[in-house]
Amino acid sequence: MIASPAPNFTLEAVFESIAELPVFPKVVHKALETLDDPNKKIADVSAIVKFDQGLVANILKLTNSAMFGLRQQVTDLDTALALLGNQKIREILITGAALPYLTKRLAGYEMSPEDLWIHSMGCAVVSEVISKRTGYPDSGTLFTAALLHDIGKIVLDLYVGPRLEEVLVLSKQRDGNFFEAEWMVLGTDHALAGSAILKNWDFPPDICRAVRRHHDPDLYIQDKLSALLALSNIIAVQLGFGVGADGFRYRIEPGLLESAGCSRDDYYWCLENSLQKFYQAEDMLNTIMK
Amino acid sequence: MEEVLVKKGQTVVSDKKGARLRVPSLGSALAVAASDPSARVSGVAVCIIPKKMDKASEIPDVMEQLRKLFKDMITKGAQPQNMRLFLAGAAGFTEEPDDMALGKRLYKTVMKTLKKNGLKVTADHVGGPLNRSVYLDVGGEGLTVTMLNEREVQL
């Protein structure tokens, strides 16, 4: 019997895996650019995405869910896009395109497909509540960063899996910090891997930066988007939205609320309202997984 | 076996023979479980809001949930002197500022309320960076706590 080759744990191998990931659908970026162009109409967006049948199916599924909130059932793309505002179209396009990536099983992080999906959407739901409460003007960017913040796990999963025990033991020795333990064992972490994936997928630099920083207490307090993303993720974990092996094994920077422009009362208000909004969106979370 | 899923912010009491109350992925929420084996009544309140911040919100706070838990237990025949109380959950991050220590605040609020009403906790499994799930068999003696990478614990 021939022994299977030992997994290649080099940093080069991790980044090769990132480069080998299927690209984020170009039609989505093109559709988003069209949305931003004042000279273009919704019909132009529809013309761009309508040939991607998988994406259209996901857009319709999301449009008909309580989260994105249309009162009537919609069965064609043109009507769906005509009834939604620009902001919702943007969120649905990104969510629809990210769906295949966010419904994977991450054995290394002990997350089922439901866990990853619920955590990603849960974090996006929390980010919307926080944006509204704090008056953050670029809620669409925060929504995208929140939805995709753990995308690095889909690549790192292959490497964490065989060494999860080692990462967990080390994390317990290092005051319970999973982020540092990931670095020590793998030479990288899922936030950095995620940022590299999003860069490869042509996402804007501020989103890549916020994803890179979302577990690093020294860095996430340095800009508002990163602070708001870190806070959204923390609340999603506290509310138990798809918590994996790393879940609570992180340090929270004491100045986070201040950097996010959030008072203690705002934080508790967001917790309460995020849970309520999550329950309202639950139909979508469940039907997507069926 | 009939399984009843109890969500965060919900309080469920049952006297249905053979039923199991299950709470998945508690996060920082605190499950307050009560059981009277002689009356075969059990219930659980999954507390997540220490004190209501938004009057329009439909999620009840600790005080409202505990009031409902004990009221429903007694309505279904439980006797206060026979009641066993268990707490599980209230996970926290490895290091967290007091302002954001939701689990600790929930635990403190629940303990204060129970003490004020002369109620004692039989056993608990709370705190730390552990995301717990729990289940409770109606009329059973205790609460079962499960966690990733840790042994199942019977309270």
Closest partner residue to A252 among B97, B130, B149, by Cβ? B97
pLDDT of residue A92: 82
- pLDDT of residue A9 exceeding 70, the answer is no
User: Pairing between strand B11-14 and B30-36?
Assistant: unpaired
User: Which residue of B lies nearest to A165 if distances are taken between CA atoms?
Assistant: B149
Closest partner residue to B27 among A243, A267, A276, by Cβ? A243
pLDDT of residue A57: 81
Name residue B145's beta-bridge partners: B134, B153
Domains defined for chain B, CATH in brackets: 3-154 (3.30.1330.200)
Task: Look over chain A and give the mean of its residue pLDDT values, rounded to a whole number.
Answer: 85
Q: Give A 29-48 residues with CB within 8 A of chain B.
A: none
Query: For the residues B110-122, what does the mean pLDDT come to?
Result: 94
The pLDDT-based confidence of A66 (bands split at 50, 70, 90) is: low
Closest partner residue to A272 among B53, B95, B131, by Cβ? B53
User: Which residue of B lies nearest to A240 if distances are taken between CA atoms?
Assistant: B27
| Tokens representing residue A179 in the block | 């982020």
Q: What is the pLDDT of residues A16-36, one digit of tens each?
A: 777 777 778 888 888 888 888
pLDDT of residue B85: 96
Instruction: Tell whether A221 is within 8 A of chain B (Cβ).
Output: no
Interface predicted TM-score (ipTM): 0.96
pLDDT of residue A48: 87
- pLDDT of residue A1 exceeding 50, the answer is no
User: Which residue of B lies nearest to A246 if distances are taken between CA atoms?
Assistant: B129
Query: For the residues A102-120, what does the mean pLDDT come to?
Result: 87
Check CB contact under 8 Å for A248 and B91: yes
> Which residue intervals of chain A bear CATH 1.10.3210.10?
104-290
pLDDT of residue A233: 98
> In Å, how far from its chain's centre is CA B150?
20
The pLDDT-based confidence of A70 (bands split at 50, 70, 90) is: low
Task: Look over chain B and give the mean of its residue pLDDT values, rounded to a whole number.
Answer: 94
Closest partner residue to B94 among A177, A245, A271, by Cβ? A177
Instruction: Tell whether A243 is within 8 A of chain B (Cβ).
Output: yes
Q: In chain B, what residues touch A234 (CB-CB under 8 Å)? A: 93, 100
Check CB contact under 8 Å for B59 and A272: yes
Query: For the residues A159-188, what does the mean pLDDT come to?
Result: 80
**Level-2 CATH architecture, domain A104-290:** Orthogonal Bundle (1.10)
State pTM to two decimals: 0.90
pLDDT of residue A265: 95
Check CB contact under 8 Å for A248 and B52: no
Distance CA B19, CA B9 (A): 20
The pLDDT-based confidence of A3 (bands split at 50, 70, 90) is: very low
Q: In chain B, what residues touch A267 (CB-CB under 8 Å)? A: 99-100
Residues with Cβ within 8 Å of residue A55, at least 6 apart in sequence: A25, A27, A28, A49, A93, A96, A97
Instruction: Tell whether A112 is within 8 A of chain B (Cβ).
Output: no
- pLDDT of residue A4 exceeding 60, the answer is no
Distance CA A199, CA A151 (A): 12
Closest partner residue to A265 among B8, B53, B57, by Cβ? B53
Give A38→chain B minimum CA distance, Å: 38
Weakest-pLDDT range from A13-22, A191-200, A203-212, B66-75: A13-22
Q: What is the pLDDT of residues B95-107, one digit of tens each?
A: 999 999 999 999 9
Weakest-pLDDT range from A89-103, A112-126, A250-264, B44-58: A89-103
The pLDDT-based confidence of B1 (bands split at 50, 70, 90) is: confident
Which helix (H) or strand (E) segment holds residue A43: the answer is helix A42-49
pLDDT of residue B27: 97
User: Between vectors from CA A57 to CA A56 and to CA A63, what angle results, nearest 5°?
Assistant: 85
Adjacency order of strands within the sheet including B153-154: B3-5, B20-23, B132-137, B144-147, B153-154
Distance CA A149, CA A225 (A): 12
Q: In chain A, what residues touch B8 (CB-CB under 8 Å)? A: 239-240, 275
DSSP string covering chain B: --EEE--TT-EEEE--TT-EEEE---TT-EEEEEEETTTTEEEEEEE--SS-S-TT--S--HHHHHHHHHHHHHHTT--GGG-EEEEEE----SB--GGG-HHHHHHHHHHHHHHHTT---SEEEE-SS--EEEEEETT-S--EEEETTS--EE-
Instruction: Tell whether A264 is within 8 A of chain B (Cβ).
Output: yes
